Chain A
Amino acid sequence: MSDRAQAFTLEAFVAAVLLVSTLTFALQAVAVDANTASSAEAELRGQHGGVAEGLLDGAVESGSLQSTLLYWDESNERFLDADEEEGFYLSRSPNTTFGRSLARLFDDQRIRYNVDLHYQGADGERETRRLVEYGTPSQDAVRVTETVTLYDDSTLVTRNESRRANATLESVEPDFYAPDASDDTQLYNVIRVEVVLWRT
């Protein structure tokens, strides 16, 4: 009699396991809530990365990225109209075509970004100059990069981004942020532009 009771108990357990595993399987077939949220977030991040990548591609194609790199005030040795103490743009974009598109795309979307320029310095070491700083990136930040080549006869630009006379990189080299990394050729230096974006 007591054995029968034990069998019924076990049967009940098996039924429970069956129920639970059916439930688990069903839940797995439909995406779980927590999972759904995180993938949407990743997609959003990917989207911003994609937008930034498209922006950089377009800017390098049209030359506006290059002119932003040449938006330089050699007498004060900082970017044109940049913050005096830092030499870069703090919590704002440079007033160039590229800078304005960055601001237009991200400023009212609660997206913050830093723009850094990496290149080979005078001693052959890698150097970094900050162009835009909005703060410290959060953990889910996205990073996009673009390569821009500068030549000996590239010239610094005016406030409306037209080429300045008598201001080739070759002639202003000591006062420009990046040195001539290829002395014997018409190549000046290669700048890696790195944009780091994150949500606030």
Chain B
Amino acid sequence: MADVARGDRGQLLIVSAIGLAILLTALALALNTAAYAGTHAAASDNGLHEQQAAIGYQASAERAVADLMAINDTTESDLRAAVEDWDQLTGAEYARDGAVTHVSVTDTTVENRIVQDDTRNFTDQSGADNWTVATNATAVEGFEMVLEATALSSSDDCTASGACFTLTVEDEDGDAWRLFASNTSENESVEITVETSNGTTETCTAEASSAPINVTNGVFVDESGAECSFTSFTEDDGVTAPYTIRYERATNVTGTYTLTVTGNVVEGSIEDDERYATTGSPRITPQIRAANVSISYQSPQLTYHGRIRVVPGDDDE
């Protein structure tokens, strides 16, 4: 009897041990799947939402920058100021949703058209007769002028320190290309002398009351319509971009000119720059062709940094 009882106890122990093991395994399995499914669902859901928010932010920024660039007479500094305010206004809204956003303009490509279409001397809007027409011009797309004979100096000292009207195109190393204009003849005539960076000079003369000059192509047209070629600063190997374009003794010349340069020419806004205005002569029309913009969007789940190039008119309609 006692033997049977002893055997029974063993069976009892085994059965309860197996039961306990099954119970524990089941519990572990159940808890594990629940926890895994929970976090997995939450993560993917949030991640998708955050990505959409970041993409939406970038699209809004791109749209705003493109619109601001397209506004007439916007210079680089105007654009920077406006984007800074936009950044602050939108930043406050996104902060409420727990995201830190930032957008800023890193650099721009500005094309400026500088025009004097009333026949007058070549001084700037403030009347200065030695002035810089454009600094840091990475490219000069076109430069044409028409010189009138009447106001030209009759001096034959056409050098950098002389008395003639001088157009100087200088590079960053100080190498300069110069164009002088004078009227030494008794009759009405326009004489130009071009001095390249290595010191060689070329002259062209027109016995006429006015003469057109294409400065970038190096072509001067005389009274009979014949062309006199000279070395343009674009062909002068000693002078390399970016250029600084200056007028000196601008009261010793009258006429008109049109010049298209790429670069950040205007200091601040046009109103702040006394050399130009948006109307009259000389006037400037800046047009921002492209801007590089850096964008960042940070939230607890997502960090996004991007650089985009905005070209107005790209995503219109």
- B9, A3: Cβ atoms closer than 8 Å: yes
Q: Cβ of B5 < 8 Å from any Cβ of A? A: yes
Q: Which of A14, A149, A186 contacts B63 (CB 8 A)?
A: A149
Q: How far is the CB of A146 from chain B (nearest CB, A)?
A: 7
- B15, A7: Cβ atoms closer than 8 Å: yes
- CA A126 to CA B23, docked complex, whole Å: 57
Q: Cβ of B67 < 8 Å from any Cβ of A? A: yes
- B82, A187: Cβ atoms closer than 8 Å: yes
Interface residues of A in 52-85 (CB under 8 A from B): 53, 57, 60, 62
Q: Which of A3, A18, A126, A190 contacts B22 (CB 8 A)?
A: A18
Interface residues of A in 1-17 (CB under 8 A from B): 3-4, 6-7, 10-11, 13-14, 17
Q: Cβ of B116 < 8 Å from any Cβ of A? A: no
Chain A residues in 8 Å Cβ range of B59: 57
- A24, B26: Cβ atoms closer than 8 Å: yes
- A25, B60: Cβ atoms closer than 8 Å: no
Q: Cβ of A192 < 8 Å from any Cβ of B? A: yes
- B19, A182: Cβ atoms closer than 8 Å: no
- A190, B89: Cβ atoms closer than 8 Å: yes
Q: Cβ of A118 < 8 Å from any Cβ of B? A: yes
Q: Cβ of A155 < 8 Å from any Cβ of B? A: no
Instruction: Please encode chain A, from 148 to 187, with 1 for each CB lying within 8 Å of some chain B CB and 0 for all others.
Output: 1101010000000000000000000000000001101111
Q: Cβ of A120 < 8 Å from any Cβ of B? A: yes
- B67, A11: Cβ atoms closer than 8 Å: no
- A147, B93: Cβ atoms closer than 8 Å: yes
- B11, A7: Cβ atoms closer than 8 Å: yes
A186 touching B86 in the complex, CB below 8 Å, given contacts A10-B19, A21-B26, A146-B56: no
- A60, B63: Cβ atoms closer than 8 Å: yes
Q: Cβ of A189 < 8 Å from any Cβ of B? A: yes
- CA A3 to CA B89, docked complex, whole Å: 81
Q: How far is the CB of B294 from chain A (nearest CB, A)?
A: 18
Chain A residues in 8 Å Cβ range of B281: none
- A28, B33: Cβ atoms closer than 8 Å: yes
Kindly report which residue of chain A lies nearest to residue B12, judged by CB atoms: A7
A147 touching B57 in the complex, CB below 8 Å, given contacts A10-B12, A190-B86: yes
Interface residues of B in 49-106 (CB under 8 A from A): 52, 56-57, 59-60, 63-64, 67-68, 71, 74, 78, 81-82, 85-86, 89-90, 92-93, 97
- CA A120 to CA B96, docked complex, whole Å: 13
Chain A residues in 8 Å Cβ range of B86: 149, 182, 187, 190
Q: Cβ of B126 < 8 Å from any Cβ of A? A: no
Interface residues of B in 2-25 (CB under 8 A from A): 4-5, 8-9, 11-12, 15-16, 18-19, 22-23
- B19, A151: Cβ atoms closer than 8 Å: no
Chain A residues in 8 Å Cβ range of B67: 149, 151
- A186, B19: Cβ atoms closer than 8 Å: no
- B12, A3: Cβ atoms closer than 8 Å: yes
Q: Cβ of B226 < 8 Å from any Cβ of A? A: no
- B68, A147: Cβ atoms closer than 8 Å: no
- B15, A181: Cβ atoms closer than 8 Å: no
A185 touching B93 in the complex, CB below 8 Å, given contacts A14-B19, A17-B22: no
Chain B residues in 8 Å Cβ range of A148: 60
Chain B residues in 8 Å Cβ range of A53: 52
Chain B residues in 8 Å Cβ range of A147: 56-57, 60, 90, 93
Q: Which 6 A-B pairs have the closest CB atoms?
A: A182-B85, A185-B82, A21-B26, A3-B8, A14-B19, A147-B60
A-B contact pairs, 21 of them (CB 8 A): A3-B4, A3-B5, A3-B12, A6-B8, A7-B15, A14-B16, A14-B22, A21-B26, A25-B26, A28-B33, A149-B63, A149-B67, A151-B67, A151-B68, A182-B82, A185-B85, A186-B74, A187-B82, A189-B89, A190-B86, A190-B89
Q: Which residues of A contact B (CB under 8 A)?
A: 3-4, 6-7, 10-11, 13-14, 17-18, 21, 24-25, 28, 53, 57, 60, 62, 118-120, 126, 145-149, 151, 153, 181-182, 184-187, 189-190, 192
